[in-house]
Amino acid sequence: MRVNIYYGGRGIVGDPTNTVITRMKSVLEDINVKVTRYNLYEEKRNISSLANTVSECDGIILASTVEWHGTGGFMAEFLDALWLYGNKERIAQIYMCPVVMSTTYGEREGKLDLAQAWEILGGKPCSGICGYVQDTVSFELNADYATLVEKKAENLYRTISQKIVALPASNQAVRQMVSAGPQIELSPQDAEQLSKYASDDKFVQTQKEDIKELASHFKTLMNNQGVSVEDMLIKDFKSHFVPDQSFSASYNFIISDTEKPLAIIIKGQELDVHYGAVEKPTIVCRVDKDKLIKITAGAETFQRAFMTGDMQVKGEFKVLRKLDSLFRFGN
């Protein structure tokens, strides 16, 4: 059995949440559970990629501290990453124990918030721990509190090992409604790749610098030729089109600093590219003009632009994948 602990506090001395999860970790390890702890404040540059570590375990502990209001930004960012990049099929099989301690007020609300978030993600929440601690030293030395924490750790072990079933919750219906619209279903491999790109600040910064340099070069070149950027984009799409007889779809590109969206309609070997809205497009893409110039120049792909977050997409993911094979800008 494997359990991961995700600590969303700031790691300050005297944090009661740290005391609780340290004791829980010790109890679980004593009964041969492999426990891995992640301190989110140490992983703040890689929180997006931590979403993939959840898939490796049977249960998790989400632990945070209410210092003034709510469970803190690190935990919220981690939950966002799970919603965007997490493997929902695996999350549905994982039990979660919330641990929220407070030095002010709001520990019960914090615990409930984590449980609700996990249910919306599709996972299985367990009975957690919450409490108010005014004096950390007294809390650490209290034998009754220590016993209570140990019992909670043992209950988590029993819940996971016995695969205890929970009754359906209305939060599951909320998840279906929220995810029905703009979200695109990603495979575990796509989600892992996307989260790595999103958390790599150096990679993202390099991409932005490359885009600026390339866009500046092409804008200068087009101005010298008396051709507008908009006309050049249409020309590039038409000249690099590789027909697929069995494929039909429509794309609407909403481009920054462009008055009308770029419409691309494909019906087998027929291609129509013009500026204007498409009724009920298969895919809607939102992208910066400079980024699209880089793609049509062959220095970038649609797939990578989506993976790095430089292009937002709404529609069928498999249709998005076809763009790089339909338009061979690198050739």
Distance (Å, whole) CA 140 – CA 18: 10
Give the span between the Cα atoms of 208 and 211, in whole angstroms: 5
Residue 197: predicted pLDDT: 58
Amino acid letter, 57: C
Chain centre distance of CA 125: 20
Q: What is the per-residue pLDDT across 274-327, written as a single tens digit (0 to 9) for each?
A: 999 888 899 899 998 888 888 888 888 888 888 777 888 888 777 888 898 999
Whether residue 295 contacts residue 259, with contact meaning beta carbons closer than 8 Å, is answered with: no
First-last CA distance in the chain: 50
pLDDT digits (tens, 9 = 90+) for 87-132: 888 999 999 999 999 988 899 999 999 999 999 999 999 999 999 9
Collect all residues with Cβ–Cβ distance below 8 Å to 213 and sequence separation of at least 6: none
| Number of continuous H segments (helices) and E segments (strands) in the chain | 15, 11
pLDDT, mean over the chain: 84
**Residue pointed to by tokens 């809607």:** 284
Phi, psi angle pair for 245, to nearest 5°: -55, -30
- Give the confidence band of 24 by pLDDT, cuts at 50, 70, 90: very high
Distance between CA atoms of 258 and 248, rounded to whole angstroms? 26
Give the start-end residues of each E strand in 126-175.
Answer: 129-132
Per-residue pLDDT, 86: 86
pTM, rounded to two decimals:
0.57
pLDDT in tens, 183-204: 445 555 555 555 555 555 565 5
**Whole-angstrom Cα distance, residue 140 to residue 191?**
40
The residue among 144, 145, 116 whose CA lies nearest residue 129 is: 145
List the structure tokens of 117: 């978030």
For the chain, give the longest Cα–Cα distance: 81
- What is the Cα–Cα distance from 69 to 50, expressed in whole angstroms? 24
Residue found under tokens 């497009």: 281
Show the domains of the chain with their CATH numbers. 2-175 (3.40.50.360), 200-326 (3.30.1050.10)
